[in-house]
Amino acid sequence: MESNASIEMAKHVLLAFGIILATGAVSGILAQKLRVPDVVIFLLAGILLGPEVAGLVNVRAESALNQIILIFGSCYILFDGGASLRFKVLKEVWITIVVIATVGVLIMTAITGITAYYVLGVPFIVALLLGATIASTDPATLVPIFKQVKIKDRVAQTVMSESAFNDAMGAIITFGILTVAMGNAEFSVQAALWDLIKKLVLGILAGGILGYLAAMLIAHEKYAFLAEYAPVVTLMAVIGAYLGAEGLQASGFMGVFVFGIVLENKDSFGFQMENGEQEKLEEYVLTTSFIMRMFIFILLGSQVNFSLMNTYLIGGIIVVTVFMLVARPVTVFLCAAPDRRAKWSLKEMLFMCWTRETGVIPAALAGLLVGMKAPGSQMIASVTFIAILMTILIQATTTKWLARKLGLLVET
């Protein structure tokens, strides 16, 4: 009997996967026709397929299957994002990236938290918890957008790098505030700062070492005996970088991102792949990343709880509007303008003010808070989904238009 139940469950999951793949393929074509980032269409398609509408896809947010897809999918998309960056550009803008991914998250948390306190009428510590949950940007959303919309290199790479670096900061602030909110212990700024540095440094080391080893195995003149299996090496190394960094209690996403940077900049270490093998690897990464974001955003859309969102709809929209139009611009100008090395222009900073989509990472944090029965967790989950819908549907769809208006679009 149990065996039959397992088989039926497997068939149900297989059917859901088939529906997601078919819908994703059609959505990808539609996104090309409409000239909008495909994550927007995936999210809308997921809402239509989910239990709130058609009921064709029903993978629970807390299920192990969903968590595997979110973790691996985000890791692979982050790896792809890291592989888009160049050492030369990062040397020019690294100060902005570090400041906006650390101090910037604090500024976003504070402004959003204060707004939520007055608008939603929740306790201040709960309002700050909401601010911290949605403060970090989402690499799983931003990387695909910049893959499809070609923006001036240093701007695109700064925003993508920020999204990879700030997930650790966002998580640390969230759980630091949670500790105070639940009355378990006093929050220590010194301990939190040390934890952040440890997570980032160990994550960078884990990703850097694995990236170098992978590059050597697929591109070294003498030791590249796995050159023909480069796609398999990337899969193994992405998993290894994430789990290795997490095993060291570091940022797994940072490890994966740095792995992608090092692997793609392998020529800096004297490694060179044959043209045919390089093209095969690039095509594989492109296809796999497309499938991963298809699954992530269709599933994310299918899990939107409209009945919960309606409870905080008006207040949530107000908070997210301030979040988008006040908190983000203040953060960008305070963190990027002082960077004399990068010499940001007003147009570049205006673009960065608008480009900060919320997605998988904040959704995962909100889900964890609900699972832990944190104070105000239902409100936080509701506003987080409002932020995801608003930023992806409004900001992602206007990215190309704004870049063209500001003269930052690289025409292909």
Average pLDDT over residues 94-117: 91
Average pLDDT over residues 97-104: 88
243 and 332 belong to one structural domain: yes
**What digits encode the pLDDT tens for the residues 369-407?**
877 778 888 898 889 889 988 998 898 889 889 989 998
Confidence of residue 206 (pLDDT cuts 50, 70, 90): confident
Give the model's pLDDT for residue 118: 94
Give the model's pLDDT for residue 152: 84
Give the model's pLDDT for residue 7: 83
Neighbours of 340 (CB within 10 A): 8
Selected residue with higher pLDDT from 293 and 224: 293
Give the model's pLDDT for residue 187: 56
**What digits encode the pLDDT tens for the residues 255-308?**
888 888 888 888 887 788 777 777 888 888 888 888 888 898 888 888 877 887
77 and 62 belong to one structural domain: no
159 and 39 belong to one structural domain: no
End position of a domain, from candidates 41, 66, 91: 66
Average pLDDT over residues 236-249: 85
Give the model's pLDDT for residue 131: 93
pTM comes to 0.80
Domain assignment of residue 94, yes or no: yes
169 and 115 belong to one structural domain: yes
End position of a domain, from candidates 18, 33, 66: 66
Provide the terminal-to-terminal Cα distance of the chain, rounded to the nearest Å: 58
Domain assignment of residue 326, yes or no: yes
188 and 52 belong to one structural domain: no
**What digits encode the pLDDT tens for the residues 33-57?**
887 888 888 888 988 998 888 888 8
Domain assignment of residue 411, yes or no: no
Domain assignment of residue 410, yes or no: no
DSSP per position, 202-229: HHHHHHHHHHHHHHHHHH-TTT-TTGGG
Please list, in sequence order, all residues whose beta carbon lies within 8 angstroms of the beta carbon of residue 357, skipping any fewer than 6 positions away.
Answer: 137, 138, 141, 142, 145, 391, 392, 395, 396
Residue 65: pLDDT over 60: yes
Give the model's pLDDT for residue 189: 62
165 and 38 belong to one structural domain: no
Computed over every residue of the chain, the mean pLDDT equals: 84
- The domain tally of the chain equals 2
Give the model's pLDDT for residue 249: 79
25 and 160 belong to one structural domain: no
Residue 203: pLDDT over 80: yes
Give the model's pLDDT for residue 23: 92
Task: Give the range among 21-30, 86-95, 283-292, 330-339 with minimum mean pLDDT.
Answer: 86-95
Domain assignment of residue 46, yes or no: yes
Backbone angles phi, psi at 125, to 5 degrees: -65, -35
Task: Give the range among 11-15, 65-69, 172-176, 373-377 with minimum mean pLDDT.
Answer: 172-176
Residue 3: pLDDT over 80: no
260 and 202 belong to one structural domain: yes
Give the model's pLDDT for residue 352: 92
Cβ atoms of residues 172 and 220 within 8 Å: no
End position of a domain, from candidates 44, 66, 88: 66
Confidence of residue 325 (pLDDT cuts 50, 70, 90): very high
156 and 15 belong to one structural domain: no
CA–CA distance, 216 with 199 (Å, rounded to integer)? 26
CATH number of the domain where residue 264 is located:
1.20.1530.20
Average pLDDT over residues 236-258: 84
56 and 76 belong to one structural domain: no
Selected residue with higher pLDDT from 117 and 32: 117
Give the model's pLDDT for residue 320: 94
CA–CA distance, 219 with 278 (Å, rounded to integer)? 9
Domain assignment of residue 14, yes or no: yes
Domain assignment of residue 6, yes or no: yes
8 and 82 belong to one structural domain: no
164 and 309 belong to one structural domain: yes
Confidence of residue 358 (pLDDT cuts 50, 70, 90): confident
Q: For residue 265, what are the domain limits?
A: 72-405
DSSP per position, 60-119: -TTSHHHHHHHHHHHHHHHHHHHTT--HHHHHHHHHHHHHHHHHHHHHHHHHHHHHHHHH
Domain assignment of residue 309, yes or no: yes
Confidence of residue 222 (pLDDT cuts 50, 70, 90): confident
